[in-house]
Structure 1
Amino acid sequence: MNIEEELFEIIKDKELKELEKYFKINNIKSKNFCNFNKILLNFIENHASIEIIRYIIEEQNDKENVEPLFNSIRKNNFKVANLLITYGANINGKISNMQGHKNKTRNIIKFLVDNGELNFDNLVYIINQEFDMSSITEGVILNLIKQKRIDLINCIFKFNQYHHKYANFIFINILLFDIYGNKKALSTEQINKLLYYKNNVVFNINERNSCGCSLFLKVISDNNTELVKLFIDYARTRDIPLNLDEKDDFGRKLFLIAIENGCVDIVNLLITYADSTSFIFSVNEKNKFGNYPLLKLVENSNLDLVKILIQYAETHHTVLNLNDNNNFGNYPVLFATINNDIDCLVLLMDYAKKNNQTLNINKQNKLKAYPLLTSIKNKNITIMKLLFEYANEHDIILNLNENDNGNDPLLPAIKNNEFEMVERLMDYAITHHIILNINEIKDNYDNYCLLAAIEKNDIDMVEMIIDYAKMTKITLNLTSKNKYKNYPLLSATEKRNIGITKLLISYANKQDILLNINDKDESGNFPLLKATECSRSEAKTMLKLLIKYSKTRELILNLNEKNGIGDYPLLKAIENNSVDNVKSLIKYGKANGIILNINEKNKFGDYPLLKAIENNNTESVKLLMKYATKNKIALNINDKNKQKMYPVVMANRNNNYEIIKLLVEYSNDHGMELNLSKKNCDDETYASLLKNIKKARKEYNIKMNSTNSTNTSRKKKLR
């Protein structure tokens, strides 16, 4: 604590008389206490009485007191500020910048703005104290704009209308140039060229800066309604004609800039001002990118301004261009469709009818998009209907086969599962004798109409496509594959859709098309495998369909093929607990001389016997053991899967003693040792397992002894 702070601690709570007495007795002089600067600041901060503050000021040697004055004004304590000014405090003084900038000082306005504490009351107070307004810098005004204090800028501007010529430095030098892009402020000489002095100060708001833009164009670009109104009012009061034909670097005139910004108030301000000067905006004029007012409004879905523009055009006997496109090929109807803007599309159609124009509804932009295709992609049936109605009313034939990146109207309608859209497209095509490209058009993944409908699992859509193909005598492509090597029959079995599978087989037979029944997709899946993955009832029917088709066409189904994770038909049939399918596969294999792989594992280590036991399916276990014995295959009864589970432990966990007996009998009949490892078993579980094994062996021995008593030539010991 320094000496001045120590003094303040002593005197801070004293009354005026006590303070005077203390100073007199102790011979307190300001020269010994840094001019009482800190003491005065502390009294002001602590709201000391005006009498005490006056006494401290009177005791000072130097009474400029800039910092105390700034702090008083900051707190809107104008009574103290007046006192300080009366004793010589300088309103135009400066204090050191405390933000680390060497040799930088701040005036009162900058001090308050930097701290976010300039308000209307203290600004008016400062102005009325003969503050030098020319000392307001570009940084100050820029900060005010960042703080959105347009009211304070407006106050400064209005004050400057009635003061000396340098007052307009603020508005000209800062707003006109620095705020809106110039990095360097104008010199005094340059500003004087802009000003004309008579009774009032006038500045040229049409003057262009080094970037080629006037201030008025810039405030329009910034979409600042208050400043636009301020400028228009200024122009009117000074009788300055604003340049409404000015363009920016992109060739945009003021009106188009305001339109693009979408501010109704600014557009109305411009229209009102233009009408007052008999100026008519070129509503169809384009910028460098080919954009024009109506196009930008429709692009931005600004229906209110579209209505205002139409009203403006009608008032000034101008017809709006409805079909012109910009450099990217976009035009109003297309933008309305892209934006799903039904109201705007109806408005355009009504305006076209009223002005005897015919809308172009087929034109493609540079990305090959056009209204009908876009409405279908957007799933907007209402816009699609409007386009059909408009086309019929104006004898326009809609493009049904034009595409963008492989999408024509029909394919996205199918992919979006939009039945009504597909139906309308086909009806329209038939009525207007248009042949739809139902085989040729493919998307980026090589999906085509029939495959897309099957992927959506929509049997009604598939039936409609088949019916259309029959009606137009088109032979559907049933064998083409997409980029994932998927194809119709595989997709139908994958979707477990028996109805679609029947339709495909029926259509293929009638058209004498040989279906792919063994081809694999990218993941190694094929129809027979996907059929065995179905639920038991579905799988039974699906398997019968495939077996019947293979017999009819003299094809052999791949019973032992695996997919990418090692699954194969027998394993999946057992996994899905379908005994009927297991029997069907065994029967089909026998009829075609195919020995089933009954021990093969998938990537998880699962194999048929283990999955049958996991599912507690005793019948499947018997089928596998019988098949293995008949075909002289050593059944795998001990291998573990990736979860370290093996048959006898799995059977014991399921409390299936019958399967345990079957395993004991099979192991003994075939001279195998059962895996009775204690790993992954707690003591209780393992004890239970041993108990069941012992019981099963005992029963097996009894059975064998009974057999031996009738057949003494054969004797077998328990291993």
Structure 2
Amino acid sequence: MEEFNRLYKFITKEGIVQIISNEKNINDIKIKFQLLSEEDIEICLYLVAIDYNDIKSIIELNSYYLKEKENDILNNIYKRKLLDYERLKKVIYMFLKDDIRIKFTSDLILSIIERVDTNYSFFDACFTNNVEVIQLLIDYANNNNIVLNINEKDNYGDYPFFMACMIDNIKMVQLLIEYANINHIIFNVNEKDENGSYPLISIFINNNVEMFQLLIKYANENNIILELNDKDKYANYPLLLAIKKHKNVMMCQLLLKYANYNKIILNLSEYDIGNVSDIPDEIIELFIRYEKRIKIVYNNNSELLKRKNEMRVITTEETNFMEEINKYFRERIDNFTIYSNNTINRLFIKWLNENEINK
């Protein structure tokens, strides 16, 4: 790297146009910097041009190196981990403005979304909810009639839609969906990475109701049935995450409604839950309401089954109680129905206020 940095300083001093104007100058560099390959020299020349926003030199470099080839230099720079965030922005702005052809691979697209190396500042910047470069890539592709392969996986089984869900960036997910819809691309939303994870698991790990609703909408619009039961290598699955990790009633309800609508049986193990007493009553009520849609494996002397039975008695008593109240109101008020205890509480408070009993 020291020799490469020496070459960078040399090129900056001598000037790119001056160097590539005569093939003898390139040969002199090869002799002067014998530890570097021809690709090293090419990349270094491009880096200097990029850093100085030197469009003229980039065009000259393309004429010298590329001839009739499509420019793949950006991906070569990326593979060397020399394409930091600021450089990438400069490159895409220049190429959008001056119509210089470059090639975008799935690796490059993924590099903008994911953080492969924690010491690499470009990945850090893009990992923290930055969609600007993704938008630039899409603009470039649209301007040049290029259709990006946004379903292609990298070596780890990751793909753009999954990574956007994993980093919990709903703007990026919306941007990808919009691009996919325009270009008639269907996302493989159930596709798994090397750890067995998939978008829905990431969404439940992040406890993001809005993202889940967006995924359901996308799946429905594209006739996709979401995978609900598969576990990743860490034994996570959506229903368990909603119950144990977050105790999120809304996520449980959305999941069970979706399963019910699509006639899917959800699997649940009491052993996986751990401390059953931590489960909110509202979730136990959902277990009862959607009993036909959940296949529960109970422990011996099951605490979960005990709580369900206790809740079932309470629920039955409340239902009977509300039926009696509704009967009373129907005899006196047309089209009036109470659906929950909350309604009863509100009516009681209203009555107290009107009669000034609480003053």
Range class of TM-score, shorter chain: 0.5 to 0.7
Name the TM-score, length of structure 2 as normaliser: 0.63
Equivalent residue letter for 1:532 = I
Partner residue in 2 for 1:528: 109
CA distance in 1, matches of 2:71, 2:17: 27
Partner residue in 2 for 1:655: 247
CA distance in 1, matches of 2:242, 2:82: 32
- Do the aligned residues in 1 keep the contact of 2:16 with 2:45 (CA within 8 Å)? no
CA distance in 2, matches of 1:474, 1:671: 60
Give the Å deviation of 1:555: 0.6
5 Å-filtered alignment, 1:244-255, equals none
**CA separation of 1:507/1:563 partners in 2, compared to 1, >3 Å: closer, same or farther?**
same
5 Å-filtered alignment, 1:417-432, equals 419=9, 421-426=10-15
Gaps of 5+ in 2: 115-125, 292-314, 320-334, 336-359
Equivalent residue letter for 1:463 = D
- Do the aligned residues in 2 keep the contact of 1:492 with 1:501 (CA within 8 Å)? no
- Do the aligned residues in 1 keep the contact of 2:53 with 2:90 (CA within 8 Å)? no
Give the Å deviation of 1:465: 7.6
2:86 maps to 1:505: no
- After superposition, the C-alpha distances for 1:62-86 in whole angstroms (9 at most, x for unaligned) are xxxxxxxxxxxxxxxxxxxxxxxxx
**CA separation of 1:690/1:644 partners in 2, compared to 1, >3 Å: closer, same or farther?**
farther
CA distance in 2, matches of 1:617, 1:640: 19
Give the Å deviation of 1:639: 0.6
Partner residue in 1 for 2:209: 618
- Do the aligned residues in 1 keep the contact of 2:71 with 2:102 (CA within 8 Å)? no
2:234 maps to 1:646: no
Equivalent residue letter for 2:6 = A
Partner residue in 2 for 1:466: 54
CA distance in 2, matches of 1:428, 1:544: 32
5 Å-filtered alignment, 1:330-369, equals none
Give the Å deviation of 1:447: 3.5
**CA separation of 1:467/1:695 partners in 2, compared to 1, >3 Å: closer, same or farther?**
same
- After superposition, the C-alpha distances for 1:93-118 in whole angstroms (9 at most, x for unaligned) are xxxxxxxxxxxxxxxxxxxxxxxxxx
Partner residue in 2 for 1:437: 26
CA distance in 2, matches of 1:427, 1:644: 55
2:1 maps to 1:413: no
**CA separation of 1:675/1:530 partners in 2, compared to 1, >3 Å: closer, same or farther?**
same
Partner residue in 1 for 2:324: none
Equivalent residue letter for 2:51 = E
Partner residue in 1 for 2:62: 475
2:253 maps to 1:665: no
**CA separation of 1:487/1:474 partners in 2, compared to 1, >3 Å: closer, same or farther?**
closer
5 Å-filtered alignment, 1:124-523, equals 411-414=4-7, 419=9, 421-426=10-15, 436-437=25-26, 447-449=39-41, 451-452=43-44, 462-464=50-52, 466=54, 469=57, 473-475=60-62, 486-488=75-77, 490=78, 495=83, 497=85, 499-508=86-95, 512-518=99-105
- Do the aligned residues in 1 keep the contact of 2:71 with 2:103 (CA within 8 Å)? no
5 Å-filtered alignment, 1:558-577, equals 558-577=149-168
Of the three residues 183, 190, 194, the one matched with 1:599 is: 190
Which structure is higher in helix share?
2
Percent identity over paired residues: 26
Give the Å deviation of 1:621: 1.2
Structure number with the bigger relative contact order (C-alpha 8 A, sep ≥ 6) is 2
**CA separation of 1:554/1:691 partners in 2, compared to 1, >3 Å: closer, same or farther?**
same
- Do the aligned residues in 1 keep the contact of 2:72 with 2:102 (CA within 8 Å)? no
Partner residue in 2 for 1:675: 267
Give the Å deviation of 1:437: 3.3
- Do the aligned residues in 2 keep the contact of 1:475 with 1:511 (CA within 8 Å)? no
Partner residue in 2 for 1:694: 284
- Do the aligned residues in 1 keep the contact of 2:17 with 2:57 (CA within 8 Å)? no
- Do the aligned residues in 2 keep the contact of 1:638 with 1:674 (CA within 8 Å)? yes
CA distance in 2, matches of 1:493, 1:673: 46
Equivalent residue letter for 1:677 = S
- Do the aligned residues in 1 keep the contact of 2:96 with 2:140 (CA within 8 Å)? no
Partner residue in 2 for 1:132: none
**CA separation of 1:614/1:426 partners in 2, compared to 1, >3 Å: closer, same or farther?**
same
Query: Secondary structure in 1 aligned to 2:173?
Result: helix
Give the Å deviation of 1:564: 1.0
5 Å-filtered alignment, 1:547-562, equals 547-562=138-153
Give the Å deviation of 1:695: 2.3
Query: Secondary structure in 2 aligned to 1:659?
Result: helix
CA distance in 2, matches of 1:443, 1:509: 35
Query: Secondary structure in 1 aligned to 2:226?
Result: coil
Name the TM-score, length of structure 1 as normaliser: 0.33
- Do the aligned residues in 2 keep the contact of 1:429 with 1:435 (CA within 8 Å)? no
Partner residue in 2 for 1:717: none
- After superposition, the C-alpha distances for 1:596-621 in whole angstroms (9 at most, x for unaligned) are 11100001001000011111222111
Equivalent residue letter for 1:561 = E
CA distance in 2, matches of 1:595, 1:544: 19
CA distance in 1, matches of 2:273, 2:219: 29
**CA separation of 1:607/1:496 partners in 2, compared to 1, >3 Å: closer, same or farther?**
farther
CA distance in 2, matches of 1:496, 1:427: 21
2:175 maps to 1:584: yes
Give the Å deviation of 1:630: 1.8
Query: Secondary structure in 2 aligned to 1:437?
Result: helix
**CA separation of 1:647/1:616 partners in 2, compared to 1, >3 Å: closer, same or farther?**
same
Give the Å deviation of 1:530: 1.8
Give the Å deviation of 1:578: 0.8
**CA separation of 1:644/1:679 partners in 2, compared to 1, >3 Å: closer, same or farther?**
farther
5 Å-filtered alignment, 1:624-639, equals 624-639=215-230
**CA separation of 1:660/1:495 partners in 2, compared to 1, >3 Å: closer, same or farther?**
farther
Query: Secondary structure in 2 aligned to 1:676?
Result: strand
Equivalent residue letter for 1:585 = L
- Do the aligned residues in 2 keep the contact of 1:573 with 1:579 (CA within 8 Å)? yes
CA distance in 2, matches of 1:494, 1:600: 31
**CA separation of 1:621/1:507 partners in 2, compared to 1, >3 Å: closer, same or farther?**
same
Give the Å deviation of 1:665: 1.2
- Do the aligned residues in 2 keep the contact of 1:613 with 1:647 (CA within 8 Å)? yes
**CA separation of 1:636/1:691 partners in 2, compared to 1, >3 Å: closer, same or farther?**
farther
CA distance in 2, matches of 1:532, 1:563: 12
**CA separation of 1:468/1:595 partners in 2, compared to 1, >3 Å: closer, same or farther?**
closer
- After superposition, the C-alpha distances for 1:438-474 in whole angstroms (9 at most, x for unaligned) are 9x969766633463488xxx7x77333836726x944
CA distance in 2, matches of 1:436, 1:506: 30
Equivalent residue letter for 2:150 = L
